[in-house]
Chain A
C-alpha cells in the first residue's frame, strides 16, 4: 500500500535530515522518495508527525533512516549481457593501453556488483591487475558488502544470471554455505577498498578508468544527475568508461557532449573530452 503523503511533509523531512543529519535528499526524484517515506512509516508503524519528531530529536535515528530510504535491491550479474559486454569489449579495450587499471563502483550497495566484477576479473586472469573502490553513502550497507553474505534463495537468481553471462564455472565455486547464507570467498575482494562516500556532497574521487553507477542516478532529479555526472567526468581518465543502467540515458544531461556512447544497448559511455 502506498500512503499519500503531502509534498509539504516531504519538504519538511528533507529539511530536517539536511540540518540535523547532514544528508541532502532535496534533489531526489519525488515519486520514489515519497514511496520510501511511506515504507518507513509502515516499517516503524508510525505517523508522519512521529517520523518528523524522531528525525528532529534522535541523532542516532539518522543512520537507520538512511538505510531504509536508500534502495538496496540488486542482483549479481544483473543484465548478464552487460557483463558480457564488459568482458568481451570494454575491459579488453582498456587492457590495450594499460597493464593495470582502476574501477570505481559508485553506490555499491550490498556488494553484489562488486563480487560480480571480481569474479569476472578472476576468470579473465587479471584480478591482481585491478584496484577497485566500492563506495556508498550508507555505512551499514558497506559493512554488509564487505561481509559478502547473501541469502541462499537469492543465489538461485544470481546463479541464473551467471549462467546467462556464460561464466566459466558455477557461482558455487565462489562461496561456502553457512547458516542458510552464501558466504563469498574473501580473496575475491583483496584489491577492493570499501569507503563511505556521498555522491551528492562528497569530494572528487581518485582518477579511475571505469566507473560503474548503474541504477543509482535514477533516484535523483535531473539537476542532481547533472551535478553527479560532472563529478564522474572529472574522476575519469581521458578515454575512461562510464556504465549506467540499461534504462538510463545521458541524452538530457549537460555533459553528454563530452562522452560518446560505445554500447547503446548496455549504456556504456566513453569520456572523449576533458
Chain B
C-alpha cells in the first residue's frame, strides 16, 4: 500500500494552473507513465489570441499525446486534453467536452473554475483535482466543487509556487486533501497509475 492509500475508483484527473505552472505541468507530463490509464484534463491560463504552439510545446515534453479537443469530443482513457485558446472547456454528463465562448470568468477564457466545476459534476467522487501555481483566484471555487462532490483535492505547496495566489485561494475556500510539491504530485500520479491498473 502506498503513501496515499488510493482506491481504484478514480476515472479522471483534472489539473488547473496559471502563471508559474508551465514548468510544473511539463515535469508532470515528462514523468508520467506512458500507459497512465485515466484521462488528464488540463485547464491552463494562456494567451487568448495565440491558437498555436502551446499544445505542441506540451506534446514534445510529454510521455503522452496532448490534444486540444473539439466541441462534443468524447473523453477517452489515457489521453491528455488541453483547453484551447479563447474557449471555455466544460465536461458534460455524457463524458464529452463542450467548448463555449461565453464572457470571461476571473478575467480568463478558458476559466479553470468552469472546467473544474463541470468535470466535478460529471465524475463526482471519481475525480482527482489538482491546482498549481497561479496569480489569481480562478480554480479556487472549482476545487470546492470537486471537494463538495466527494472528489480528491490536491494543491501545489504554496512554498514551491512561483505565485501562490491560486492554491491559497483553494485552501481558503475548501478542505484540500493534500498539499504537495511537484515531485510528490508525480509520486501520487505514479501510485494512482499502479492502483488503477491493478
A residues near B (Cβ < 8 Å) are 1-2, 4, 29-32, 35-36, 71, 73-74, 79, 81, 160-161, 164, 215, 217-219, 222, 225, 245-249, 251-252
Contact = CB atoms under 8 A, between A and B. Distances in A.
B84 A247 contact: yes
Contacts of B103: 71, 73
A167 to B, nearest CB: 16
A162 to B, nearest CB: 12
Contacts of A36: 102
30 contacts: A1-B141, A2-B117, A2-B141, A4-B145, A29-B92, A30-B92, A31-B90, A31-B91, A31-B92, A31-B121, A32-B90, A32-B98, A35-B102, A35-B114, A71-B101, A71-B102, A73-B103, A81-B51, A164-B49, A215-B100, A218-B71, A219-B100, A222-B72, A246-B84, A247-B71, A247-B99, A248-B71, A249-B70, A251-B70, A252-B72
A245 B113 CA distance: 23
* Interface of chain B, main secondary structure: loop
B36 interface: no
A1 B121 CA distance: 15
Interface in B82-113: 84, 87, 90-93, 98-103, 113
Nearest to B119: A31
- Counting chain A CB atoms within 10 Å of each CB, the highest count among B71, B87, B99 belongs to B71
A79 B70 CA distance: 16
A149 B141 CA distance: 36
Nearest to A214: B101
A71 B104 CA distance: 12
B68 interface: yes
Contacts of B93: 30
A35 B99 CA distance: 13
Contacts of B71: 217-218, 245, 247-249
Name the residue among B69, B84, B103 with the largest chain A CB count within 10 angstroms. B103
Contact of A218 (B51, B68, B99, B113): B99
A8 to B, nearest CB: 14
Return the 3 tightest CB-CB contacts between A and B, nearest first.
A31-B90, A249-B70, A218-B71
Contact of A32 (B70, B100, B113): B100
A31 B84 CA distance: 17
B118 interface: yes
A38 B7 CA distance: 34
A1 B99 CA distance: 19
B70 A247 contact: yes
A171 to B, nearest CB: 16
A71 B49 contact: no
Given A30-B93, A218-B101, 18 more contacts: A4-B145, A29-B98, A30-B92, A31-B90, A31-B92, A35-B114, A73-B102, A73-B103, A74-B101, A164-B49, A218-B98, A225-B72, A247-B71, A247-B84, A247-B87, A248-B71, A248-B99, A251-B70
